[in-house]
Amino acid sequence: MNGAPPQDDPRIIARRLARTLRRRRLGAFLLVAPLLAFTLVVFVTPIADMLRRSVADDELARAWPRVAAALKEHGTDESGVPGEAVFAALAEDLRTSWENRTTAAAARRLNYEVPNGRSLAMNTARWVEGLDEAPESWRAALIARDPAWGEKATWSAIHHASGPISDYFLLASIDRRRDVDGTIVQVPEAERLYVQVYLRTFGIALSVTLLCLALGFPAAYLLASLPSRIGNVMLILVLLPFWTPLLVRTGAWVVVLQENGFVNQAILWLGLSDTPLRLIYNRTGVLIAMTHVLLPFMILPAYSVMRSIPPDYMRAAKSLGAPPTTAFLRVYLPQALPGIAAGALLVFIIALGYYITPALVGGASDRMISSFIALYTTGTANWGLAAALGSGLLVATLLLYLVYARLVGGVRAGAI
């Protein structure tokens, strides 16, 4: 006897089992590690950066660091205007930013809250830089140069923009702002825009979802009911639009829906109208084109669930005396509901962020929130407002998922 523990010792077996399980877990992690890294880089990181930009507000403080710090240290008097120390810091920042060519950044941020704020900052910086000697009182000199420097609204805006974070862009994305006293109020009626655009975006997305549901449910039911040989061929027809670029499909609708297009020619030939109908560059064109593009996203999840429903259930319900309508509503539809809900949720979420199709076939009153995000990202470089508007869409999407999970019980295996 050599003293080695027996191979059937429970402790040895447990250690071997634990080692085997660790190897399997490590192997599984290594298999999904590339996907996790890809998701982290191209999905999680951009979303986190978008959320950061929606509250980051340090553009003015980076260009005018002295006045931002002095304003926090000394504050303002009863009239809402700071003292000489803050004005002296402002003058130094104006001169420095003009020399470093960073005045435009601070002027742009000031212009968001102060009418003509850009002109105020740029003209004053140019004047300060041209002075041969400092005045006796910067406060008196700057207010004399432009009375806006003696207004409470100007310094309230500078205080709000002193960073590093603020709720300015988030409030602006829902047509709100802080007044000179810091209270959240609605912007003037003439400046209200984004709530209306959000409502329009949700209205278009909901309309497209309902149209896809009305057209996609019968199609999915038919595909699931057909024999596999025929159903597979029909399924290829559903997948066919995916093989054509989105821009080409949208461009085709511009040709088909125009006044001399195929649809209007058919309407005139059938005598349904005496004159061509306006089907493009309005809401009608947007709904038609988006429904066509998004219809497969409704059909495929519904079809995958309907295909897994055994036909014996319907036959059993009918054999027990249930009318076909009752059997469909009480037996078939509840089982198909996860696929229908998944398809509806998928279509709605995709429709919320649509940009190309509404831009090409819609009119000025059909612009969705994504077009404003694109404008502020690539046109005016207002990244804060673009991120705040995108955060609104993200919150709406998460709320929709919570509603979906509440109603359907979460995404079940095989629903999609």
Closest CA to 355 of 222, 205, 216, 211: 205
CB 288 within 8 A of CB 254: no
What is the SS3 assignment for 197?
helix
pLDDT tens string 272-295: 888 888 888 889 989 999 999 899
Residue 410 pLDDT > 60, yes or no? no
Look-up: residue for tokens 């402790």?
11
Averaged pLDDT, 369-390: 87
Rounded distance, CA 286 to CA 354, Å?
10
pLDDT tens figures, 33-49: 999 999 888 888 988 98
pLDDT of residue 3: 57
Burial class (CB in 10 A: 0-12, 13-18, 19+), 413: exposed
CATH class (in words) of the domain with range 193-414: mainly alpha
Q: Dihedral angle at the C-alpha atoms of 248, 250, 256, 260, nearest 10 degrees?
A: -100
Burial 26-36 (b: 16+ CB within 10 A, else e): eeeeeeeeeee
- Residue ranges per domain, the chain? 10-54, 58-165, 193-414
Distance (Å) of CA 258 to CA 241, 261, 266, 361: 21, 5, 12, 10
Judged against a pLDDT cut of 50, whether residue 263 lies above it is answered with yes
Q: Which pLDDT tens digit goes with each residue over 285-331?
A: 899 999 998 999 999 999 999 988 888 888 888 888 888 888 888 88
* Beta bridge pairs of residue 184: 178
Provide the H-helix boundaries in 182-242: 194-225, 228-239
Write the pLDDT tens digit of every residue in 218-236: 999 998 888 888 888 888 8
228 burial level (CB within 10 Å; 0-12, 13-18, 19+) = exposed
- Residue 413: the pLDDT is 45
pLDDT per position as a tens digit, 173-201: 999 988 878 888 888 888 888 999 999 99
